[in-house]
Amino acid sequence: MKKRLAIVVIALVVVFGGIFGYKAFGNYMMHKALAHMPVPVISVSTSRVAEQEWHPEVTAVGSFAAIQGVEVTPQMGGAITAIHFHSGQYVKAGTLLLQIDNSNQLAQLANDEAQQRLAQINLRRTRELIATKAASQSQLDSAVATYQSAVATVKNDRATLAKLAIRAPFSGYLGVRQVDLGQYIIPGTAMVDLQSWDPLYVNFTVPQSDFARIHMDTPVQVEVDSYPGQHFSGKITALGSAINTATRQIDVQATVPNPKTILRPGMFGNVTVIEKRQEKVLTVPASAITYNTFGDFVYVVEKKAVNGKEGQVAIQRIVKTGTQRGSEVQILSGLQPGELVVTAGQIKLHEGSPVEIRDSGKS
């Protein structure tokens, strides 16, 4: 039994040994054949490292705000007797929006106007009498005071009536009406909001480290998600008077024209402050950058012997990137002007891969 088992084990060793030996021999012969074959050349697209002049930028997230915007509220209480506007309507300054019940005030005004007329008649008669010395100076003084008091009372009545007639304090667009006809309202009740849309403020903050780069009238561009690809231009019109000690940020306000009224107060946008000065930077197409956890890199094309003759190979180069503008990325270190970088075909490359340039930009 043991002898038979030993024979079986030996037979298996011989069989498997033959199989593995055959595979090892095959691999050896394949590697030997490949070693004598020319290294495949990979076709790539390239672009040269360019030196450009860029305006330095500061970026922030901002919020649009109306230059003039209020929640229209009454100063006096009462029942609404008339509504003269529609939600979303554009109104000019002084437009009558709502009327609060003013019947008592109108009656009071009529009474006080009658008292004013009577005081005016008495004053005129007293002046006529004093001219003939039929009245004393004290009587004239009393008549003058009575008339002036009557005039002041009428002015007070008219001021009260004006407060019961709610008018637009400035030109702008109304929001959604929040009150109804016949509703009794009290001082401070929100009736409708009124906003001016052109121009708009953009409020944002920048860290104190960038404060020296922010100046009055510096141009800004704002992008909003609602209108991708569009840039809204403006300029800085106000700076905060102090740095916030909690955040070490300073408030900045820019004014942006909105002639088409497509922007709205409360929208947020990405603000770019564009400095007036220029600086030279190195740039490459964004497609040339391979982003990696261990460091971003590009493939630089260099001349080197390939398959026994002069050719070109791809060399991996670690780079430090800066800001991106459109399709161009700023290179802070790792490249020199004029060097050739691969912009397409990197996925097939490894260190030292022979390459053939099918097209080249910025050459």
Is the pLDDT at 45 greater than 70? The verdict is: yes
pLDDT value of position 117:
92
Strands 353-361 vs 42-48: parallel, antiparallel or unpaired = parallel
In this structure, the answer to whether residues 104 and 178 fall within a common structural domain is yes
Output the pTM of the full model. Answer: 0.62
pLDDT grade for 321, boundaries at 50, 70 and 90: confident
Claim to verify: residue 79 and residue 180 sit in the same structural domain: yes
- Considering the domain architecture, whether residues 294 and 341 belong to the same structural domain is answered as yes
CA 314 to chain centre: 41
Please indicate, yes or no, whether residues 131 and 227 belong to a single structural domain of this protein. Answer: no
Confidence of residue 347 (pLDDT cuts 50, 70, 90): confident
pLDDT over 60 at 37, yes or no: no
Q: Which domain holds residue 255?
A: 58-67+200-275
Domain-terminating residue out of 230, 250, 275: 275
| Stronger pLDDT, 9 or 193, i.e. the higher one | 193
Under the banding of pLDDT at 50, 70 and 90, the label for residue 114 is: very high
Residue 126 binned pLDDT confidence (cut-offs 50, 70, 90): confident
Q: Is residue 47 part of a domain?
A: yes
Mean pLDDT of 211-226: 87
Give the tens place of pLDDT for each residue, 232-282. 999 999 998 888 888 889 999 999 999 998 899 989 999 988 877 777 888
Examine residue 136 and state whether it is found in any structural domain, yes or no.
yes
The reply to whether omega before 285 is within 30° of 0 (cis) is no
Whichever domain contains 216, its CATH number is 2.40.30.170
Mean pLDDT score across all residues of the chain: 84
Neighbour-count burial for 215-235, b at 16+ CB within 10 Å, e otherwise: eeebebbbebeeeeeeebebb
Question: Binning pLDDT at 50, 70 and 90, where does residue 34 land?
Answer: very low
Arithmetic mean of pLDDT, 31-47: 66
Q: In this predicted model, what pLDDT tens digit does every residue of 174-190 receive, in sequence order? A: 999 999 999 999 998 99
- Report percent pLDDT > 90 for the chain: 29
- Whether 110 is covered by a domain: the verdict is yes
Domain-ending residue, one of 189, 212, 233:
189
Nearest to 329 by CA among 278, 271, 290: 290
- In a domain, residue 23? The reply is no
Residue 249 and residue 105 share a domain: no
Per-residue pLDDT at 43: 85
| pLDDT of 164 | 92
Task: Tell me the C-alpha distance between 222 and 275, whole Å.
Answer: 15
- Res. 68: pLDDT tops 80: yes
Q: Which residue has the tokens 């391979």?
A: 290
- Whether 194 is covered by a domain: the verdict is no
CB 255 within 8 A of CB 200: yes
Do 257 and 284 fall into the same domain?
no
pLDDT tops 80 at residue 130: no
More confident residue, 8 or 158: 158
Residue 363 is predicted with a pLDDT of 45
Once rounded to an integer, what is the mean pLDDT over residues 338-356?
84
Residues in the chain, total? 363
One domain for residues 176 and 139: yes
What is the pLDDT at residue 21? 62
Is the pLDDT at 33 greater than 50, yes or no? no
pLDDT at residue 1 above 70?
Answer: no
232 shares its domain with 331:
no
DSSP state of 209: G
**Quick check: is 21 in a domain?**
no
Is 166 found in the same domain as 82?
yes
- For residue 172, CA distances in Å to 89, 176, 210, 229, 331 come to 8, 13, 36, 28, 47
CATH, residue 346? 2.40.420.20
Residues 175 and 85 reside in one and the same domain: yes
Q: Which CATH number covers residue 96?
A: 1.10.287.470
162 and 246 share one domain: no
pLDDT, average across residues 192-199: 91
Is 185 within a domain? yes
| Domain-embedded: residue 195 | no
In this prediction, residue 215 has a pLDDT band, given cuts at 50, 70 and 90, of confident
Domain final position from 158, 189, 220 = 189
- Residue 307: left (phi > 0), alpha (psi -120 to 50), or beta? left
Average pLDDT over residues 222-228: 89
What is the domain count for the chain? 3
Kindly report each contact of residues 257-260 with a partner whose C-beta sits within 8 Å and lies 24 or more positions away, as own/partner. 257/198, 257/199, 257/232, 257/233, 258/197, 258/198, 258/199, 258/200, 258/232, 259/198
The pLDDT value recorded for residue 293 is 79
Give the range among 67-81, 130-144, 215-229, 280-294 with minimum mean pLDDT: 130-144
pLDDT at residue 17, as a whole number: 61
Is the separation of the CB atoms in 347 and 304 below 8 Å? no
Tell whether 234 and 286 lie within a shared domain: no
